[in-house]
């Protein structure tokens, strides 16, 4: 984060005190921080606190032009490498979603072309209000990133979702963001499998699962941005293949097995985010099955476990498996890591809101070979992908160091 320009917009909620800690931690991490406060934010903590922590002027009023040679809100908007709104109230979210610019924060936010991250903090019922939900969706549609609030005790006395994410976590997400802006994966070839497999019963019917492939596609897109060469193996045709990705279209688990085995030696990293069928019909009828009286019984046989097979290879690349679970996440994830000889398992509890199959967000936990466990907060699938890739990059770097030492 060294010398990155972070513009922190602080709006009025009790979590303003956490924004002071956030300012300090960002400065300690090497960032240059400038702060804009809303009038209400100044009711909680004085601008002097932020001035002292950021070692910069604090802006509160659009018309209080400190430097006559520039227009402050345009100058700040252009200066920022990243704009963070933390805490973000329902009010600022609403104004921004509707293009309202009536104070220093909102005029600057409309004027910036830098990425904007919003970390909401408010009462649980406010957060769940349909207007707030709609405004957040609108902003997400504009490309704004959200750092979701935590659940827990709220200053208003309620227990629920609405607590500003901890400053340490926000700093870590920001650090990771800047790191992923560089070509850290150049020279790596990543083989990614995504989405469900389709197991044919007859020429017109198949068995599949609810996986959408969005997580795998997000991984492919972000990996290319980080400089990797990407081979994507998938049955999905409803998503656009990310730019510069080599796409291998498959249908069944057997096709995926063949495609992976044909390509695995080219890859330094394999990410198996696909939801592969564990069973397939023993016989595929050449003709469409006609209905008959009584029940239909189809015999199934096991498919090949691709990840398990890869884990046995002597020349195995860095292997990442996925685990979508509905219970005992820890237990199943650790046992999958061990059993399949993977280097990392990305597990999620698909029963949790925001962590399901079809959505655009995910909540995952990473289980690593060195017994480290890393929980990620609710993030967009693209942000989750960036965090996973960054963790792989760090593990590989660490591995190289270990091998050399």
149 and 1 Cβ atoms separated by less than 8 Å: no
274 touches ligand CTP (CB under 6 A): yes
Is 322 marked within a binding site? Answer: yes
Q: Does 397 carry a binding-site annotation?
A: no
Nearest approach in angstroms of CB 362 to ligand CTP is 15
Q: SS3 for 245?
A: strand
> DSSP string of 251-295?
-SHHHHHHHHHHHGGG-SEEEE--B--SEEESS--SSPPPP-SS-
Q: Give the end-to-end CA distance of the chain in Å, rounded to a whole number.
A: 28
Q: Closer CB to ligand CTP, residue 104 or residue 275?
A: 275
Smaller CB distance to ligand CTP: residue 322 or 393?
322
Asked if 9 interacts with ligand CTP (CB under 6 A), we say no
Q: Say whether residue 278 binds ligand CTP (CB under 6 A).
A: yes
CA distance 67 to 57: 11
Tokens of residue 69, six digits = 């040679």
**Is 306 one of the binding residues for ligand CTP (CB under 6 A)?**
yes
Report if residue 253 touches ligand CTP, rule: CB under 6 A. yes
The answer to whether the CB of 356 falls within 8 A of the CB of 350 is yes
Residue 194 near residue 234 (C-beta atoms within 8 A): yes
Query: Residue 242 Cβ, how far from ligand CTP at the closest point, in Å?
Result: 19
Query: What values do phi and psi take at 46, rounded to 5?
Result: -80, 155
92: three-class secondary structure by DSSP: helix
Q: Is 219 in the site for ligand CTP (CB under 6 A)?
A: no
Closest CB 322 distance from ligand CTP, rounded Å: 4
Q: Which two tokens stand for residue 50?
A: 């932020």
Is 260 or 390 the residue whose CB approaches ligand CTP more closely? 260
- Are the CB atoms for 398 and 368 separated by under 8 Å? no
Choose the stretch contacting ligand CTP; rule: CB under 6 A; options: 16-24, 171-179, 273-281, 364-372: 273-281
Residue 304 assigned to a binding site: no
Q: Does 213 bind ligand CTP (CB under 6 A)?
A: no
In this complex, which beta carbon is closest to ligand CTP, that of residue 147 or of residue 306?
A: 306
How many other C-beta atoms are found inside a 10 Å radius of the C-beta of residue 253?
24
- Given 155, 156, 204, 289, which residue is catalytic? 156
Query: Contact, 56 vs 28, CB < 8 A?
Result: no
In angstroms, the CA 36 to CA 105 distance is 6
Q: Is 303 in the site for ligand CTP (CB under 6 A)?
A: yes
Task: Please choose, out of 65-73, 125-133, 303-311, 390-398, the segment that lies near ligand CTP by the rule CB under 6 A.
Answer: 303-311
Token reading at 145:
């990133």
Q: Does 195 bind ligand CTP (CB under 6 A)?
A: no
DSSP symbols for 364-394: -EEEETTS-EEE--SEEHHHHHHHHHHHHHH
Check residue 272 for interaction with ligand CTP (CB under 6 A). Answer: yes
Give how many residues touch ligand CTP by CB under 6 A: 13
Q: Is 164 in the site for ligand CTP (CB under 6 A)?
A: no
Known active-site residue 9: no
Q: How far apart are CA 342 and CA 316, in angstroms?
A: 9
12 or 311: CB nearest ligand CTP: 311
CB of 219 to ligand CTP, least distance (A): 12
Is residue 323 part of the contact set for ligand CTP (CB under 6 A)? yes
381 marked as part of a ligand binding site: no
Q: How far is Cα 195 from Cα 272, in angstroms, rounded to an integer?
A: 10
The residue among 33 and 253 lying less far from ligand CTP, judged by its C-beta, is: 253
Q: Is 336 annotated as a binding residue?
A: yes
| Chain residues in the site for ligand CTP (CB under 6 A) | 253, 272, 274, 276, 278, 303, 305-307, 321-323, 336
Q: Which residues are catalytic?
A: 156
């Amino acid at each position: 984060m060294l010398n990155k320009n972070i513009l922190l917009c602080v709006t009025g909620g009790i979590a303003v005190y956490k924004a002071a800690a956030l300012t300090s931690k960002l400065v300690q991490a090497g960032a240059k921080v400038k702060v804009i406060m809303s009038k209400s934010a100044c009711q909680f903590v004085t601008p002097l606190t932020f001035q002292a922590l950021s070692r910069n002027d604090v802006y509160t009023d659009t018309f209080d032009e400190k430097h006559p040679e520039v227009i402050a809100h345009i100058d700040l908007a252009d200066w920022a490498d990243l704009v963070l709104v933390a805490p973000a109230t329902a009010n600022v979210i609403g104004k921004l979603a509707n293009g309202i610019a009536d104070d220093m924060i909102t005029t600057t936010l409309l004027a910036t072309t830098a990425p904007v991250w919003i970390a909401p903090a408010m009462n649980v019922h406010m957060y769940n209000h349909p207007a707030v939900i709609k405004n957040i969706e609108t902003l997400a549609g504009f490309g704004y990133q959200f750092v979701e609030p935590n659940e827990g005790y709220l200053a208003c006395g309620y227990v629920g979702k609405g607590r500003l994410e901890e400053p340490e976590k926000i700093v870590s997400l920001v650090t990771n963001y800047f790191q992923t802006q560089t070509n850290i994966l150049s020279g790596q070839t990543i083989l990614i499998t995504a989405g469900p497999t389709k197991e044919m019963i007859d020429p017109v019917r198949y068995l599949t699962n609810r996986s959408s492939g969005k997580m795998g596609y997000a991984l492919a897109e972000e990996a290319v941005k980080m400089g990797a060469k990407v081979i994507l193996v998938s049955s999905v045709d409803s998503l656009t293949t990310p730019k510069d990705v080599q796409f291998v279209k498959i249908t069944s688990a057997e096709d995926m097995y063949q495609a992976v085995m044909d390509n695995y030696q080219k890859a330094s990293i394999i990410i198996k985010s696909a939801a592969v069928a564990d069973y397939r019909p023993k016989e595929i009828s050449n003709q469409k099955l006609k209905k008959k009286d009584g029940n239909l019984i189809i015999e199934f046989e096991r498919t090949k476990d691709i990840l398990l097979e890869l884990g046995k290879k002597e020349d195995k690349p860095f292997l990442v498996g996925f685990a979508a679970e509905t219970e005992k996440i820890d237990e199943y994830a650790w046992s999958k890591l061990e059993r399949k000889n993977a280097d990392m398992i990305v597990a999620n509890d698909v029963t949790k809101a925001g962590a399901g199959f079809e959505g655009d967000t995910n909540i995952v936990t990473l289980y690593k070979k060195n017994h480290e466990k890393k929980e990620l907060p609710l993030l967009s699938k693209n942000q989750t992908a960036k965090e996973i890739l960054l963790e792989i990059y760090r593990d590989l770097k660490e591995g190289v160091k270990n091998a050399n030492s």
